[in-house]
Structure 1
Amino acid sequence: MPHSSTQQSAADEHGPLPRGINHIGLTVPDLDLATRFLAEAFGAKVAYDGLTLDDEARSGAETERQLGLPQGARIIRQRMIQIGVGPSLEVFEIEVDDRHPAARLSDLGWNHISLLVDDIEGVLARAVAAGGQALSEVHDNSRHEDTPGNGSVYVRPPWGGLIELQTLPNGHWYGPDSESEVWSPPQR
């Protein structure tokens, strides 16, 4: 079901500015396990498989250069997954000798994704039942997200990394210095 947006983007002297986040990349040790976890925990749906075990793996010097992969890495599977409304997850299964653990919140670079949920306790229970680990109980958010009824909790999925569950029934607080509002997906 192809679709496109006719909405005009803002521009500067270099041309149109980005419209927004399209997808977030995630590498997992087992694509089927990850897909099952994301579906059971968060209702994720497969949009498409960009690379399957029936396809030739993406590898070699040109792939390594284009994607910043270490020598000898082989992308054997790639799947685009959608959770509700918002950016998709591009999930990779890659064979590589030199694998590093998933980033922690204190590590440099991208370190977590956040899912906006209406029933944080219910989604947390589903995530734990699907194999995730809650790092704590539901707790208050940061100051701009800490309006009444709001809460947050981090979950570690089976392959590592961090997924934040956030409930914001009363929205964000914006001070006089705010230049923009945070995008929030609509209810499903």
Structure 2
Amino acid sequence: MKKKMETNRNFRGIDHIGITVPDVNAASAFFAKAFEAETLYDVLPEDAKPLQGAETEEQLGLPPDSKVVHMRLLQIGSGPTIELFQVAGTFQSKTAGLHDYGLQHLAVYVEDIQAAARQFESAGGKLLSPPHPLSGVEDGPRNRGVYGRAPWGTLVELLSYPDGLKDKTLHRWTPGTH
């Protein structure tokens, strides 16, 4: 039996996920081709004055002399939005792997895992393996997942669990459901 989510709580859910990319336009094109993402708007257009200086560095935790030169909000289906950042004037570290501490991947629920995997690769992504069965409580005859990397290295998971969870007393929010 599903528990009804309380609506009088202070925290409603995830609004967006921020991803720093080398080029907002190229990343937007990848997300559009790979996931049919729609551009909602530019938070900071590429021809606007960059966000920089001591106050910006403090507010965003940026290193000295770096600047945000472009920001854009995208939407994939009915999930949270994705905010893309393009930052200049600073050293860029290698993208995080699953073994690294912190936020290190984004998962996209898909209807057809094989078709989504082909579309991801066609858009320039690289799968780490073929789609595979899920395990544990997420195991089911048609439940599948696969990890891949976006062209700039961000780890992305494609996920589908049409058979639901083994334990029907558990509840998990899934995009497109209420």
Q: TM-score, normalised by structure 2?
A: 0.92
Structural RMSD (CA): 1.7
Whether the 8 Å contact between 1:70 and 1:98 is mirrored in structure 2 is: no
Counterparts of 1:13-92 in structure 2, within 5 Å, are: 16=10, 18-92=11-85
- Secondary structure of 2:132's partner? coil
The aligned amino acid for 1:9 is T
Q: The residue matched to 1:160 in structure 2 has which SS?
A: coil
| Aligned mate of 1:182, from 167, 172, 178 | 172
Cα offset, 1:173, TM superposition: 2.8
Identity of aligned residues (%): 40
Relative contact order, CA 8 A, sep 6+: which one is greater? 2
TM superposition shift of 1:83: 0.3
Q: How does 1:161-180 map to 2 (within 5 A)?
A: 161-174=154-167, 178=170
Which of the residues 116, 129, 134 maps onto 2:127? 134
Q: Which runs of 5+ in 1 are unaligned?
A: 1-6
Unpaired segments of 5 or more residues in structure 2?
A: none
**What is the CA-CA distance between 1:118 and the residue it aligns to?**
0.6
| Shift, 1:47, TM fit | 0.6
Match of 1:9? 7
Displacement over 3 Å in runs of 4+: 7-11
Number of corresponding residues: 173
Partner deviation per Cα, 1:113-140 (whole Å, 9 max, x = no partner)? 1111011111110110111001001112
Q: Does structure 2 retain, via aligned residues, the 8 Å contact 1:42–1:83?
A: yes
Q: Is the 8 A contact 1:79 1:92 kept in 2?
A: yes
CA distance in 2, matches of 1:89, 1:23: 5
